[in-house]
Amino acid sequence: MQPSTAQYAERLTAPRSWWIITALVGISGGLVLLPLGTLPMLGGVLVAAALAAALVSSYGSARIRVVAGSLVAGDARIPVSALGDAQVLDAQEARAWRSHKADARAFMLLRSYIPTAVRIEVIDPADPTPYVYLSTRDPEALAAALAAVRTA
């Protein structure tokens, strides 16, 4: 693989049910403006639906990639050489690391609607971050991609 080719890429998209709620928010916006007439009602539907869709789309636009020797998670770009082994977390263990086991210094890109995750130790002595927690739908593939970059 070429160094610039992504070895792993995932977008943490919002679930379909959130888009149904977005449509319901649009309808609610129209109902609020219904007493003012048909045109304001249609404007309320469009504006409320557009704002809700922008919010859901923005929240679901977080990406995780392993590319060019780095882990890119959201806004963070971490060299794989600064990372230790990746621990695959099932739903129960991921919930524990999101709550009572969590460290306030950790970098966390979490989405509660994604049940599984990966926890990666940070081994760079100059970095106070103890670990990176990433919600992912395919934790095994992410861990394998990090291991492949580390051994290459």
pLDDT in tens, 14-29: 999 999 999 999 999 9
pTM, entire model: 0.83
Q: Which of 84, 92, 88 is nearest to 131 (CA)?
A: 84
**Mean per-residue pLDDT over the chain, rounded:** 92
Q: Determine contact, residues 71/7, Cβ cutoff 8 Å.
A: no
Strands 76-79, 83-89: pairing is unpaired
d(CA 128, CA 82): 12
Contact 141, 42 (CB under 8 A): no
For tokens 């977390």, name the residue.
Answer: 89
